[in-house]
Structure 1
Amino acid sequence: MPASLLIVDDDRDFTESAADFARLRGFRPYVAHSLEQSRQFSHLPPVDLLLLDLELPDGNGLDLLDDPAMPEHGQAIIVTGQPSVQSAIQAVSRPVVDYLLKPLCPIQFDTLLKQAAARGVTTAVTDRHGMVGRCEAMCRIHDDIDRVAATDASVLISGASGTGKELVARAIHIASGRTGPFVAVNAGAIAPELLASHLFGHERGSFTGASHRHAGYFEQAHGGTLFLDEITEMPPALQVYLLRVLETGTVTRVGGTEAIATNVRVLAATNRDPQMALDAGNLREDLFYRLADFQITMPALRERATDVTLLAQYFLDCLNARHGTARRFADGSERVLMRHPWPGNVRELRSTIQRSYLCSDGPLVRIRALEQRARTMAMAGGMIGFGVGMSYAEVEREMLVRTLSHYDNDRGRTAQALGVSVRTIQNQLARLRGDGDPRA
């Protein structure tokens, strides 16, 4: 992967020249002309060099250094044509910031690019599509992204929480070549009575508090991609309307009558098993077929053992780049990381590395013995207890395996007890066998 550069400057002549200069030296440049535009690059993997103008149309470039919507980055350079003592003091007080005056000296800029490329924030461990992972399961994910990205097919991404479903959706969007924005919405995080307004927009006066017209996520994502996370949490009545929008390619705002054409590719995700969500009535069958032209199933981190240390090193590299440090893992850290089952998946691993980094005073980052969360607990009378924090997918899998065992592998009685079809039992067992689960 080539080294990368993000330029945030409202001087278009400068950004064009700087981007061309960097491109000729093997960099992949990204350009934004305001704070708001720069936040559209939040999906990027870490960039090796960040070039910031101080005075932007909507604020100060320094504000981006602490903005969580910005991508991870290596060295940050402040460039300005209007220097001041105050701005210089602000800039150099940061651990990874240099302060340069316009116009940039070509020799000086070339040196900065060479230094950034040598540090190699992005080349060390990131792989295809800006994601870390070289195990067989992740190779299949990358192949799936390549296969489906350039098409108009809808994609349903399933997998436990923290496995990277949104990362895959963003990778599909980037590889698709669509010029519009990537808009992500969690259907389970918005109150059901407000979800329609958020998705489809509303007209002024359509309900109490609607003081102005609002363009929903479909309109906001025009020309790009709309990612609907936790689609099985969407109320059934709203699923009917969503299906109509997908079928017609038009959206009508709440309280409105005008059908507005939308050019949006929809990607959806769920942390439930799709077939079980269908059987339980959490996902309409007709909507499922419309959303699942192509399906991608994300592997749990415990199924990606060879990627754990790669990911850990990647997160540590990002922290070092952000804070201007050169910390490394203490001896024995890899052994601790490999022994943990990672029920919270990649999200848990990232949190663990960050916490360990913050707790380390010297050059070594020590990974302490990690507390293992209780999984399922056998109980008397044919009952099962589940630990708080288990994902829906884990609960469903354990319930299936334990119930099947309780009925001596009688699939008919198991299906009846769980309230699903025998076909669902067969499909789920096939998935478990495909995942290498010895209990299937």
Structure 2
Amino acid sequence: MNNTATPTDPFIQRLFSIRDQIARGELPAAAQALNEAQKVSPGDPRLFILGTLMAEKSGNAKGAQEIARRAVAAAPRWSVAVIELALLLARQNQFKEALEQAHRAVDLAPNDPNMLMHGVDIAHRAQHPEQALQWLRRADALVPGNLRIQHLIAQDLAATGQRAQALDALTALHEAHPENADILLDATKAAISLQKKRVSQTLARRLVALAPDNEEYKFWQQIAQGKTPATQIAGDVTALFDQFAEKFDQHLVRGLQYQMPRVIAERIKVRYPGLKLNVLDLGCGTGLLGVCLGRIDGALVGVDLSMKMIEQAARHGVYDRFHNVNLLDALQATPDSLYEVITAADVFIYVGDLSQAIPNACRILVPGGRLMFSCEAATDDEADYVLHADNMRYAHKASHVQALCKAAGFDDVLIEATDLRLEKGQPVKGFIVEAHKPL
């Protein structure tokens, strides 16, 4: 709990007990114990830290931050109080100040590996791998040979574009720990990114040999072999969006100028001015389509792999229900002729082969219903659908998508080229599809 108390200190044992109560969600008992502890040691910054944890656990984000700042004010040179404030700020997505406080905490305890690793965690949350790498190297010097630190260094080398160095580091770690699948997986990805075909295939074979039934490992082996997997691994997509759920809207809409849900919502309003319809929103994410559409005279149903994204969407109060499943499974399990509109805004970038999704969508639309979705555009010299190694997203040829829609039974297929969003300051080329099911 602090830098000086020992495990045999009766008071710190009391504090540990309160912390455990908070972790278990026993907040009334923890609050009573905390009040009693404050009588013994009023103004103790350790009590403020516990108060911070309790306020956060109860959902009082503002109160948690106020108490954390009181802890720092009470002990401004105590690195633990400062890093706890930094971690809290990071959890609340206030990354600029979180990094500032993390720097301060590390400066106060420059030789504390734990402090450095907390800083690394904050830097990763803030998507600042360069800073994380600096702190990791310092931690590695303090704790040489630590596998976790060395693996994180290799990952951040890749994240900062130092792919050759990352592969060298991962190869060395793999040789020292040949049964570590996480290291082998990262080494495989690094070799693929460097287009080292023989190396990546060798590493991928070893990876699949460790767990022959692992779908993720087989996915990367296909890529190493120059093949295009039919779809992304569900677990990877879930982990990606779970991580960014709370800051997704701000990053995507404000940062990348993403407007596809608004565009599709406006098309729906034109086609159905009274909004008397049932809508299935595939890959609903944080519910941006629902926000743009508003309440409808019918059912608005969201489908998403990420429960954290669904939790964000539910806050808007416009969706009638959600299904936390893969969109392909959702389509296959849905009865015929149920929805007037099915949407998939920026979703098929995670699904390559649309030969099942589009016919199933047509099946579950009512006669006269419409499928509205967007795709990233593949170039003329690429295959019908391709997985781009630089961003791990699928791009599709408009002509191929149109042919799939026609083959599925849609009688009118409108395709419009558009810029989907920005990436590294440049527009991402794509197209919007509106396919009509005949009456």
Specify the TM-score bucket, using the shorter chain as the normaliser. Answer: under 0.3
Structure number with higher helix proportion: 2
